[in-house]
Amino acid sequence: MQTKPTFAPQLVIPNGVTDISFYLKAFGATELRRFSNDDGTIHVSELSINGTLFHLHEQTGHSAAVSPDKNNGTTVTIGLFVDDVYAVVARAVEAGATITSPVQDYDYGYRQGDIRDPFGHLWMIEKVI
């Protein structure tokens, strides 16, 4: 049986994080499971947005992946397709995101707005129009 390839991004967060409620409030994510460190901080959290998985993983010394604050930036923008771009961007801002590019319609047929989440990850909230 062949498995259909799927993406499950792993977003690196700083060490010592305990509150990831941004993703639940902004995107309606559900936390499926969590692996905590002895001090209660998050080692790994597995989340789902409408059945699409992604993980938050604390920064570790044995990985080349670092949280965006380590280099004051990131090389990845996560595209999230939604029904109402304006509403999701507004919820994300209310939950702690900052707008890096306001919502607008583009001549190539997309409505898009860019935000930076509280951990520095960039998200492009978008819809085909």
Using one digit for the tens of pLDDT, what is the confidence trace for 60-69? 888 888 888 8
CATH number of domain containing 29: 3.10.180.10
With 0-12 / 13-18 / 19 or more C-beta atoms within 10 angstroms meaning exposed / middle / buried, residue 102 is: exposed
* pLDDT on residue 102: 98
Does the residue 38 lie in any domain? Answer: yes
Does the residue 20 lie in any domain? Answer: yes
Does the residue 42 lie in any domain? Answer: yes
In the chain, the N- to C-terminal Cα span, in Å, equals 37
SS3 102: strand
Q: Strands 10-13, 52-58: parallel, antiparallel or unpaired by DSSP?
A: parallel
Domain that holds residue 111: 10-128
And the tokens for 55? 């993980």
* pLDDT on residue 70: 83
- Rounded to two decimals, the pTM is 0.91
Instruction: State yes or no: pLDDT of 28 exceeds 90.
Output: yes
Output 61 or 115, whichever has higher pLDDT: 115
Look-up of token digits 């990831």 = 20
Instruction: State yes or no: pLDDT of 6 exceeds 90.
Output: no
Does the residue 53 lie in any domain? Answer: yes
* Mean pLDDT value of segment 4-28: 94
Q: How many domains does the chain have?
A: 1
| Of the candidates 118, 124, 100, 123, the residue with the CA atom closest to the CA atom of residue 13 | 118
Residues of the chain with pLDDT > 90: what percent? Answer: 81
